[in-house]
Amino acid sequence: MPAPNDDEEPQSGAGRRDFLKGAAAAALGVGGVAAGGLLGGQAAQASPEQTGLPPIGAEIPCSCLAINTPLSIRTSVVSVDFRGGIKVRVDVNPDDPVNSVRLRVVGHRVSAELPGGDGVNQGGTITIEQNDIDVDAKSLLKLTQRFPPRYEQIMVLSFTMTIDQPDDLLRRAGIRSSKAYEPLVLTTKDPALLVGKLTQFPPRGDLYQLQNPVDLVLPDDPDTTIATIQKFPVKVGGL
């Protein structure tokens, strides 16, 4: 005779198997949703479509135009128009890799014509150029608002200023030098800080403002200020 429980065992075994399968599926589903939610959230946060930040490793060239930039050389003040460009390479910002990137300056050069003493003839040129390799990238682009997207770009710039044919300018500044015919080479005493408030990056002719007066000194005499840039209203646009 069959055992009394023979008819019940298959049902019990099948029920147990079904229960275990259902529990496993439920656990997998819950775990999958949880994992998907976490990964999806991180991916959404880090997605360029969400942040609009440029990809790591990209090199981005931009044009620069700074009209009516006042330059003080001792007691003399001239207003000049700088034109040129800057190129940055995008690096990871370890302090906030989701909402910001660091920008390494890999090329920076703008120049301007100096007015002559008679107001007609040109009195030389001024060239601002990156003075060293940007080893420690301090410039920053950060997302400050997601919807609609807004960004803040902070450019930390150290540079050399070279004034070619500075004779007339130096005379007007009260500087007498037997080497006035030689280019006058100055360097930033402290880095310049340029800040732009953006709705997209690369910028599209957005205005950046200088946050601090920039003193320029002779390389071998860093304690004596020769020139100062008080303002540098520069419009920057992606190329």
3-class state of residue 30 by DSSP = helix
Residue 149 to residue 145: CA distance in whole angstroms? 5
Is residue 119 pLDDT above 70, yes or no? no
The model's confidence at residue 44, banded by pLDDT at 50, 70 and 90, is very low
Structure confidence by residue, pLDDT tens digits, 89-101: 999 999 999 999 9
Cβ(119)–Cβ(75) below 8 Å:
no
Predicted confidence (pLDDT) per residue in 155-165, tens digit: 999 999 998 87
| pLDDT, greater one: 191 or 21 | 191
Residue 170: count of CB within 10 angstroms of its CB: 20
What pTM was computed for the model? 0.73
Token pair listed for 28: 């997998």
Quick one: average pLDDT of 93-110? 95
Assigned token pair, 173: 């500044």
Per DSSP, the residues of 140-202 read: EEEEEETTTTEEEEEEEE-EEEEEES-HHHHHHTT---TTTTSPEEEEESS-EEEEEEESSSS
